[in-house]
Structure 1
Amino acid sequence: MDRSLSDIERMVDDWERNAAEKAARYRAMSSEVQQVSVTGSAADGAVVVTVGANGIPTGVTMTAKVRQMEPERIAAAVMEAMRQAQSRYPERLAEIMSHTVGEDSTTRHLLAEARANFPGPESAPGTDPRPRRAPDDPEDFSNNSFMDGGR
């Protein structure tokens, strides 16, 4: 197949332009993701938890209603509100990705990770929706931390 030098230059220019455009879209996505704020509430609004980027809690507020609640119920309400807010994080992430970078293998992976880490409200508390490998699987690092040397 014979291609002229100008055809090859045009292909390289197109590739460079596409790469630059894609990088700009990912920067825009990253910027928007850093601004994410999702709120959940529990105990009839007595406890409100807000999470930001990566589902990390950024705020907890409580109304005077908590004065009539047992400490265990307050703690449970905080956890419930946080899980509720975190379960909405993947949806918000999907919206941002949709209008910034669109769907590709990277965004599919990021969304799958967010959904695994922050399952929807249909998952019962205390359950882990992520599939686990057999205990002797050499490729299963789910219980290992890079900080403990894999012990």
Structure 2
Amino acid sequence: MTDPLANVQRLVDDWERDAEEKAARYESMRQEVERISITASAANGAVSVTVGPNGIPNAVSMTDGVSRLRPEQIAAAVMEAMGKAQAGYPAELARIVGGTVGPTPSGQHIVAVAERNFPQPEPDDRPAAPPRRRPGDDGDFTDDSFLR
């Protein structure tokens, strides 16, 4: 006959060992997540933004190339680079989660939250709007007349 007390002790020991292994995997995940650093650029490399372990920007750099840009173009380039860097965050987090804690409900939740907070940018594949012609326009799309 098996000793019921020995069976209970074995179950407790297995539970304790499993809990310690899970804690070690989550600690490994936490350490890897803390090292996340993703950099993306825009405006032909004139602007770069780096996001850290929480997907929040922690560095912005610019080259002399920004001198050819208007202020609103620089601002747009910063936002574009930031969006690109943040869009890479969920995939990097998913890679880390998959390699440490695996497809656990908590790991899946962590990745899902990142995907919700930092979605992939919408592709800008809209066709360019054609220039509008005014009635009587000669079609060259300028306000200059050849008669002047």
Fold conserved between structures, TM > 0.5: yes
TM-score under structure 2 length normalisation: 0.79
In the alignment, does 2:83 pair up with 1:70? no
Amino acid in structure 2 at the alignment position of 1:122: E
How far apart, in 1, do the equivalents of 2:100 and 2:111 lie? Answer: 14
Supply the distance in 2 between the matched residues of 1:27 and 1:92 (Cα, whole angstroms): 17
Deviation for aligned residue 1:17? 0.4
Q: Look up the match of 1:108.
A: 108
**Cα offset for 1:121?**
2.4
Structure 1: gaps (5+ residues): 125-151
Map of 1:23 onto structure 2: 23
Shift of 1:68: 0.7
1:145 corresponds to: none
CA RMSD of aligned residues (A): 1.4
Distance 1:3 1:19 in 2: 25
Distance in 1 (CA, whole Å) between partners of 2:77 and 2:3 is 67
Task: Please list the CA deviations of residues 27-72 of structure 1 after superposition, one character each: whole Å capped at 9, or x if unmatched.
Answer: 1101110110011110111101000011011111111000010000
Q: Distance in 1 between matches of 2:107 and 2:98?
A: 9
Provide Cα deviations, 1:107-137, integer angstroms capped at 9, x if missing partner: 111111100000012367xxxxxxxxxxxxx
- The 3-state SS of whatever aligns with 1:50 is strand
Q: 1:58 & 1:42 partners in 2: Cα distance?
A: 16
Task: Sort the Cα spacing of 1:115 and 1:3 in 2 relative to 1 into closer, same or farther, 3 A.
Answer: farther
For residues 12 and 76 of structure 1, the distance between their equivalents in structure 2, rounded to whole angstroms, comes to: 58
TM-score, structure 1 as length reference: 0.78
Question: Which amino acid is the alignment partner of residue 74 of structure 1?
Answer: I
Kindly report structure 1 stretches of 4+ aligned residues shifted beyond 3 Å: none
Q: Trace 1:106-145 onto structure 2 (pairs within 5 A).
A: 106-122=106-122
Aligned length: 123
Distance 1:57 1:102 in 2: 27
The answer for the alignment partner of 1:4 in structure 2 is 4
**DSSP 3-state at the match of 1:41:** strand
Structure having the higher Rg:
2
Q: Which runs of 5+ in 2 are unaligned?
A: 125-148
Structure 2 equivalent of residue 84 of structure 1:
84
Q: Which amino acid aligns with 1:72?
A: E
